[in-house]
Amino acid sequence: MKRNLRTLRRLLPLFLTLLILFETAAYIAMNPRPQARFFEFYVLSANGSAGDYYPNNSPFIQTDQLVAWYLAVTNRMGSMQFIDIRVRLANQTLTTPNDTTLSPSSAPVVAEFKQFIQNNQTWEIPFAWQVLNFTTTQGYSRILQLQIGNVTYSTQNAPTCSSLSSCSFRFIFELWTWNLGSSEFQFAWWNGNEQQIAWLQLWFNLTPGVP
Amino acid sequence: MITKIAARASVAFILVVLVLLLLHPIPVDSQSNLQQQQLSKVIEDVLKAESAGAGPEEMGKLVAGLNSVLNLENQLQNLTPQDSNQQSQLLSQITSTLASVDAEAHQIETVASHRTFTNHVATYSLGAFAAFLATVIFHYVLLLRRRNRVKRVLRMKIIAK
């Protein structure tokens, strides 16, 4: 009896040390360290590569010429996200989103694509577009109608270009995320203590004739 | 007597409200605002289910439900004001889909939180059991070593040089 008690007394510190070790391991396994929260946001060409964005490798796009891209967003935020991709049409002078002030571009929004994305899932949006109609008044050219997918968009307050040969248009793609607190989309998301934004742009020149 | 009058008055009030509602249907804008609030609440509930430990398959179902609501909203936006019948049909479809996603999210949250709790209890119990087992093994290894040492000592021969 006395011997058993002595053995128990000797084994108890060992058991307690092992218990603390194993329970710590269990806690670490069940509560992994918070990882960086971010989105992967990219544009691919029709053949799925990060290049050859334009037909015949020329950014000079004719009216009615179809250009096919794929926009893709991968959610690495650690939870389901409700996202909104805002497509803006800009010229050279309109401002792009500001990475310091985290403000969006001043260019008008042409189209929006909304989707719920699960964590670690990628959403790919076919972005086939063509300029249907543009006008030139007093030397300034303006795109009047755009077709994206099967939908025709009439561009209101569209930017102008002074000369089609030297002035470029661009699509700015902004990633907006749903803010639960304010129940609206926000341009920047929180990654720990810092806010981040994601946006892309692709330039093109408009040409009325054969490029 | 007073309760009878109160009951009649409340019935009359409800009838008046109903007649007013019928005469002035709720505009689509305020309905979409209501839906926006409902959507926000459903998103919150789905996220609660996810943080309670819902798996990718369960989340996939909920996300598919939410995306179907977005599809319906897109259809609604493409309708002309003349398609009021279809508008109300789509609105009710959106409301019912949101309600079913919300109910499913609640159900998944309950199941997931129960599952997470069970997993936690099982993991911590396993830790305690592993510590006990390791202690017992250590004890018997020491015992066996001591016994072998005693055996070795007993087998020793004294040789005179």
Q: What confidence category does residue A164 fall into, taking pLDDT thresholds of 50, 70 and 90? A: low
Is the model more confident about B24 or about A54? A54
Q: Looking at residue A55, what DSSP letter applies?
A: G
Does A19 sit within 8 Å of B63, measured CB to CB?
no
Instruction: Tell me if A50 sits within 8 A of A42, measured CB to CB.
Output: yes
C-alpha dist (Å) from residue A181 to A140, A178, A185, B49: 43, 9, 10, 17
Q: Does residue B19 belong to any structural domain of this protein?
A: no
Residues A114/A123, Cβ–Cβ less than 8 Å = no
Q: Please check whether residues B66 and B82 belong to one and the same domain.
A: yes
Would you state the structure tokens that stand for residue A108, as one six-digit string? Answer: 């008008």
Q: Which of B51, B62, B130 sits opposite A22 (nearest CB)?
A: B130
Span of A153-167, B1-15, B64-78 with lowest mean pLDDT: B1-15
Residue for token pair 């309760």: B3
Pair B96, B48 in one domain = yes
Which of B63, B119, B138 lies at the smallest CB-CB distance from A80? B63
Question: Is A9 within 8 Å of A15 (Cβ atoms)?
Answer: no
The residue whose two tokens read 């209890």 is: B121
Q: Tell me the chain A residues in contact with residue B54 when contact means C-beta distances shorter than 8 Å.
A: none
Domain membership of residue B92 as a residue range: 29-111
Q: Are residues B41 and B87 in the same domain?
A: yes
Residue B86 has pLDDT above 70, yes or no: yes
Longest dimension (CA), chain B: 125
Give how far A164 is from chain B: nearest CA, Å: 33
Q: Mean pLDDT throughout B45-49?
A: 96
Instruction: Write b or e for each residue in B121-139: b if 16 or more Cβ atoms lie within 10 A of its Cβ, otherwise e.
Output: eebeeebeebbeebbeeeb
Sign of the C-alpha dihedral computed for residues B144, B145, B150 and B154 taken in this order: positive
Q: How far apart are CA A128 and CA A133, in angstroms?
A: 16
Mean pLDDT of B67-78: 92
Q: Residue B5: pLDDT above 70?
A: no
* A25 vs B: CB within 8 A: yes
A87-128: pLDDT as tens digits: 999 998 889 999 999 999 999 999 999 999 999 999 999 999
- Domain presence at residue B11: no
The count of structural domains within chain B is 2
Residue B105 lies in a domain: yes
In this structure, the answer to whether residues B106 and B126 fall within a common structural domain is no
ipTM of predicted complex = 0.85
Strand-pairing partners, residue A202, are A171
Q: Does B139 touch chain A (CB under 8 A)?
A: yes
DSSP assigned state of B53? T
Q: Is residue B41 domain-shared with residue B92, that is, in the same domain?
A: yes
Nearest to A82 by CA among B27, B133, B2, B65: B65
* Token pair 């967003």: residue: A73
CB contact (8 A) between residue A14 and residue B135: yes
Query: Are residues B41 and B105 located together in one domain of the fold?
Result: yes
Q: A118 and B60: CB-CB below 8 Å? A: yes
Chain A: closest CA distance from residue B137 (Å): 11
Find all residues with CB under 8 Å of A117, minimum gap 6, and list them.
A73, A75, A80, A81, A83, A123, B63
Structure confidence by residue, pLDDT tens digits, B90-124 = 999 999 999 999 999 999 999 999 999 999 999 99
Q: Are residues B45 and B80 in the same domain?
A: yes
Q: What is the DSSP string of A95-153?
A: PPPBTTTTBPPSSPEEEEEEEEE-TT-EEEEEEEEEEEEEEEETTEEEEEEEEETTEEE
Partner-chain contact A116 B67, CB within 8 Å: yes
Domain contains B23: no
pLDDT of residue A160: 85
Same domain assignment for residues B51 and B97: yes
Same-domain pairing of B37 and B102:
yes
Checking if the pLDDT of A2 tops 90, the result is no
pTM of the predicted structure, to 2 decimals: 0.80
Whether A203 contacts chain B with CB within 8 A: no
- List pLDDT tens digits, range A179-207: 988 889 999 998 888 899 999 999 998 88
Name the nearest CA neighbour of B52 among B122, B147, B117.
Answer: B117
**Is the CB of B124 less than 8 angstroms away from the CB of A23?**
yes
In a domain, B69, yes or no: yes
Interchain proximity B139–A7, CB inside 8 Å: yes
For A38-207, CATH number? 2.60.40.10
Q: Do B93 and B134 belong together in one domain?
A: no
Q: How sure is the predictor about A133, in pLDDT bands with cuts at 50, 70 and 90?
A: confident
- Does residue B67 sit within a domain? yes
Whether the CB of B114 is below 8 Å from some CB of chain A: the reply is no
Q: Are A79 and B50 in contact (CB under 8 A)?
A: yes
Q: Does B140 touch chain A (CB under 8 A)?
A: no
**CA gap A163, A161 in Å, rounded:** 6
Q: What's the confidence (pLDDT) of residue A136?
A: 83
- Name chain A contacts of B44, Cβ cutoff 8 Å: 180
Q: Residues B85, B135: one domain?
A: no
Check A80 against B128: CB less than 8 A apart.
no
Residue B103 lies in a domain: yes
Q: Are residues B47 and B101 in the same domain?
A: yes
